[in-house]
Structure formats: C-alpha cells, structure tokens
Structure 1
Amino acid sequence: MSSAFEVRGGNRLKGEITPQGAKNEALQIISAVLLTPEKVVISNIPDIVDVNLLIELLGDTGVKVNRISRDVCEFQADNIDLKYLQSPEFKKKSGRLRGSVMIAGPLLARFGEAYIPKPGGDKIGRRRLDTHIIGFEKLGAKFVYDADDNFFRLETTGLKGTYMLLDEPSVTGTANIIMAAVLATGTTTIYNAACEPYTQQLCKMLNSMGARISGVGSNLLTIEGVTSLKGCQHSMLPDMIEIGSFIGLAAMTQSEITIKNAGVEHLGIIPEKFSQLGIQMEFRGNDIYIPSQDSYEIQTFLDGSILTISDHPWPGFTPDLLSIVLVVATQAKGSVMIHQKMFESRLFFVDKLIDMGAQIVLCDPHRAVVIGLARQHQLRGITMSSPDIRAGVSLLIAALSAEGKSTIQNIDQIDRGYQYIDDRLRKLGADIKRV
C-alpha cells in the first residue's frame, strides 16, 4: 500500500525554503564516476528515490560508495564487476529507474561494453532511447537487442571520434554521448546538443577530471578524446524545477516566501515566465523573495492577444515547469494557452483540476487553455492520484490553495523527485501529513 498526502488548504505560508540539489544533474554526474578509477566526491546530492536507487545500483556494480552525509558522497570505481551487468538482479533494478540508461556511456567508454534495460519511470508518453543508441553507433559501438528480455547490449573494440548531428537535443542523450566520447580516440563534434545548465555542469566536471570539451553552453560541442580521467570534487546546482514550483506555490497560496541559494544566474527564462503570470519577485543576491500577493494578472502579448506559454529545449522554457504554470494560472486574472510540445500525456492531469473547480479547456493532448478564476472561487479539495513527478507537485500546490481537505494518492511519484517535501512545507505553515 503506497502512502498518500492529506492536505488541508487555505493556509498562507511564510518563511524561507532552500531548494535541493538538481535531480536531473545528479543522474548524469553520479553516472560519470564510472569514467575513472580515482576518487570522486560529489556534494549537494538530493536525497530522493531516483538518485538513491542509482547510487545503490552503482554500489551493486562494484563502485565503492561512502556516504559522508545525506548530501555528500564519495565514489571510487576502481573495481567494476561487469558480470553483474548481465544478471537478472541488474535487469530488475535498472528497469525500475529511467536514469540507469546514463551508465551506458561511461561503461562503453571505459570497458567496451554496456547493457540498457527498456526504460521505466514516468507515465508521460514514450521516452525514446534512439538518440542515445544512434549516438553510440556513430562512435563505433555495435548494438544488439534481446527481444526475449527487453534488453539492449552495446559493445565496442574502441570508440572513435566523429561528427554527429542529433535528431533532437535530448538532455540525457547528449550527456550519455559526451561521457562515451571523452575517452574515444580522436575528436567528436556534437551539433544540436542539449546545452542546459546540467549538461554544462557535467562538461565542467569532466573537464576538471582531464577531459577536453569546448563549446560548453552552446549547442555545438567539440570533444577531444583523452586516454584516461582522474578524480575530482563537484558540487551540484540547486534544482530549478523545485525553485519554479516554490515560486508558483507562493503566488497560488498568497504567501510570502524567500527561496534561499536559488542559483539565480542559472535559471534562464524561468523567472520571466512566472513574471508573465503577474507574479512579483525580488532578487536579493542569490535568493528570490516573493511577497504575499492578493492577486496576479496574466500579461497579454503586445497586440492584446492571449498569452501562450510553451516548452522548448534550453534556453527555452523547460517542459517540467509547464504543469506548475498551468496550476498557478487557474487562480490568476486572465487567460493563457499552455502548449506542451515534448510529451504526449503530460496534460492529462487537468481533469483533477477541473474536478476542483478550475476552468480549463483541454484542446488536445498537447494544449490546454486556462481561464483564470481571479480568486473569485477557491478550488475545492478532492481525492486524486499523481500520474508523474511534476503533475504530483502541481496537484499538491492546488491542494494547498484549495478549500477543505484533499487527498493525493500515489505520492511515490512525488518522492521520486522531491526530498522531504512534506516536512519542508510544514515548516512554512502548510497543513500536510503523510498517511
């Protein structure tokens, strides 16, 4: 029986909250420890299910893991058990975790073989692995798919640098190919590479280990292969999705919240999108202060037409925050069209919001029009279930602003991406408990 959150909405929250380390960076950075036999120390690790599972998986493959504290961990991959990668235990464990695909690049680069399970995880439409596999093939890996047990096997006698144009700027795909290419012979050029801050962090970390990657922060990366990498220390950025979630939460619950250590310079266009919803923010050094606002009004385009907010690869707006923007818009003054381009079924949670009294027209699987209630009617509490990590937190925000009691089931999905979220919100004055 999985647990649920019971939430009584309507409280105004107040106080300071510090975002966790970035989940999506963690999955890349922690996989990169496999590239060297030397010690790697990583700090600001989020204590969440997906990351802990990956650390456990690395431990099972023979990486020495020394958890100095919940957010600092020392890794040393000097004795890897390649046989374990073919075992039923590995298949079972890695199949539960989408991030496990990230260990393929480093394993292929250093040991010449890797195994990838068919991905598990979210229910947000197909997540293809084509970008990863095609990239590995271009570097000279051979790829065998075992249909009996849904398993991909990759092998190589030596990766060779090459030019490649990715079919999509996949973040995990780019990271995986970078990790494979750093130890390849010769120069690899990746065009249409993902370039968001977490990929930049991976490149900075690899360069500190002795890799030669240039073009960091752009969509054209050049990687000169080296023969080996050394250990390093790396600290992760704060999670920008969590920061966006807290900005939305503050506005929706009319709360006065300060987000501490928000890594403001790495947030790109995120603050601007929340400003377009009429949310006020002050940047105080590396903190974001959000004053208590009675109302917020959605801007229109300059010609007066309805605002559209859509996702786009970095430096565009991340798809992970569209669910949050959608929820926050339900109590704004004005209307907005939310256009979710990247995933098929990320918007299917709006039926729960409609049950709560929100005015939303779901046009198709990719587009929804939100007609803001301008706080004329509070949302009302209901019982609901969370389909994926981001929708889960969006529903949590809706519940915290709603009238009466809400029950959110399937919160394992929330725990996969947000650490101790209930404790941290209670400290701000939220009425939330795990049942």
Structure 2
Amino acid sequence: MKILVIGGGGREHAICWKLAQSPQVRKIFCAPGNAGTAEVAENIAIDVMDIEALRVFVEHQSIDLTIVGPEKPLIAGIVDVFEARGLRIFGPSREPAQLEGSKVFSKRLMRQAGVPTADFEVFDDPEEARAYLRAADYPIVVKADGEAAGKGVVVAQDYAEAETAIRQMMEERIFGASGERVVIEECLRGPEASILAFVDGETVRPMIAIQDHKRIGEGDTGANTGGMGAYAPVRLAPQSVVDEVTRRIIEPTVAAIRATGIPYRGVLYAGVMLTEKGPYCIEFNCRFGDPEAQVALMLLETDLVDICRAVVEVELDKVPVIFSQRAAVTVVMASEGYPGSYPTGVPITGLDGARKLDALEVFHAGTQRDESGQLVTSGGRVLAVTATGETFIEAQKRAYAGVDLIHFKGSAVRRDIGWQA
C-alpha cells in the first residue's frame, strides 16, 4: 500500500512510525512532515489546509489510503472532498468533525444524546454573557465556540477572570472567529483522562485511558499548552471506567451522529472528568490527541493499517484492537517561551544517544534540518520522548533518561509527567 499521512507534528511522526511497521505498507508520504517523519516517510511540501493540492497529489500518486492527523482539515471538510472522488481517507467528514469544530454543536449534541456533561449556556452577545456571569457561581468555565488549538478554555475563579475571558474572546477576538460565540458551563471537579476510540460509524473500539498534562508548569500550574506529556495506564481510569465511558459517552454520541445520516468514522477522542458522580464528558476531539497518540501507538499491538482499513470499509467489528499491558510515558521538550513566543532554528543535539536506550522512541514535532543538515527547532513543542516499561516507574525513568541526553538551548520540560500515577 501507498499511504499519505497529513500533518507535521509529533502525532503524525508517531502515525508514520507505526505504519512503517506494517508489512502491508510499501511507501509512506507525509505532508508537510518534519525532520522525524523524513526518517520513515517521504515529506511532501503541501500545507495541511491546501485540500485541492492534497487531492491532486493523492490521485497522481495513486495513494491507497490517506490518514488525516490534525483537526483543521477535517473540520474544513477534506474527507468530503476526497470521498466525492472515490478516494479512501481515514477521518470524520465535515459535519461530524464539528464535535471539535464547535463547542456549541458538541454540547447540544451531548445534551440531545443524554451524555453526562456539565450544565451550560451559549452566548453570542458579550453583554448578555456578562450579565449571566454576575449572577453565576464560581469557579466557572468559559470556552470559545470554535477550534482554538486546545487553548480556548478559561477556568475563571471569579467574575473578573470570567469577564476578561469574555472580552478577549468575543471583543478582542484573540481566537479569531472561534470566539464569536462562547459556552459558559459549570466547573466540574476531579482528575481528567482521555478516552480515545476507533469508530467506523457502527462499531466502537476504545483504546486505553491516557492522561495528558496541559499546563506548562509542574504541579499543573501556568499557561495552557497543547500538552506537555502523557502516560498510560491511568490508575484512576481502569478498564471498568473505559467501559463506562464507552457505554455512556462515546456510543450514545456515535449513535446520535449516525441518526443525522452522516456517520462518524475515524478516531473519536473524549476528554472526561472523573467526578464523584462518575465520568462526565468535558469535550470531544475528532482525531488522535497529541501527545496521547505517542503513548497509544507505542502500546498498540494490532497493525494500524488493519484498523484504518476496517474503519474506512465499515468492518471494524472484524478487527480485534489489542494494546500491550506495559506502561508508556511521553515527555514533551518545548522551546523556551512556549506557549508564548519562542525562538526557532536552535540546534538540537543528543538524539543518537537517546535512541540507543531500550524501549524508547523520540517523536519529532517542531523540527527541521537547516541548510547544513543540522537538526534545529521549528516550533513550540519540539520533541516527544516516549518510553515503555513493565511498570509506570520503569517507563518514566526511561523517558527522562532519554530527555537528559537531548539538548537544545532553553528547552522547557516538565519533570512530573505522570504525577497522579
């Protein structure tokens, strides 16, 4: 098979790495890719949002399967364009992808499907939102309606913080059109977990529970990021919790979408809060998480090609999805200043030494080669050092041993990934 992976981050490197292990794969392309994907695939200089150019490339190269990594092209409807031409593509079409593209769509669908989620109200007028907030109980959560790279959520401790969020989102438009509407919802309490599932529109195959670490600082402090690390298994979310989330959250959502006439196919990611009343859904994403993908794919034992083909062909019920019983930990190495402004072009050294460690992979996110061939930084999140072990402690020690061998000036690393384990 010839496969195209769309995207250029750590998630896409992990997908390419996993695909390369399949005896069914003859050639992998990655658009646009990074310095890591170039080691297992051929990078193609096409932007993820240039859907027409991607379509032309797939047809010209006779690509057998396209796998979409990031959410933006899914929300924009790349699957609809490809399927209209008879091209095989893994991911949800435009309408179901609004589960991530619109918090309003997602929350209303959850309410309709009876999915346990926080009570909420929707506002498109900032003054009406402020009036609601003056009488609200705190803390309270303010969310931009549209896609905001995982950063459009504010947990406000008082009216002043909530009002600032309304002003920035709805009036200053720091997230662009994504802030035209906001969702204001009750603040749930409890640890969080990510429960991802493969879905073919009918069958749901849940993955293992994974816990992400969104804050830049240790102890879950500081600014929100795209994710500073993740691990599995999650002690607070054993198989019984995964089963409950599948039954009460994921399956009802898939059924509600199927009832619209446009089934959900791809990866469905449920971000859940483990409250005293049981799991509640915080949000949905329409693709693999990042850095959750690095953990999940390190532990996945089933051929990823078999799974993706089964999803596209609506035959997921015929494919057992098996994960290793080992533990996995991924630690993100970020650029100095992330998630704010950060330098690029900073030389990276030490990867060869880290790769000599057993049961460890270094997935590239924001990397490239300069004119001399030197590996340099090109993004906020630079690398995801991912290791497995028989126990969580073994995996964690191995991951940080890898981190300690890699160097670039000003690198930001959380030293407490998996602290709840």
TM-score by length of 1: 0.25
In the superposition, the TM-score normalised over structure 2's length comes to 0.26
Higher relative contact order (CA 8 A, sep 6+): 1
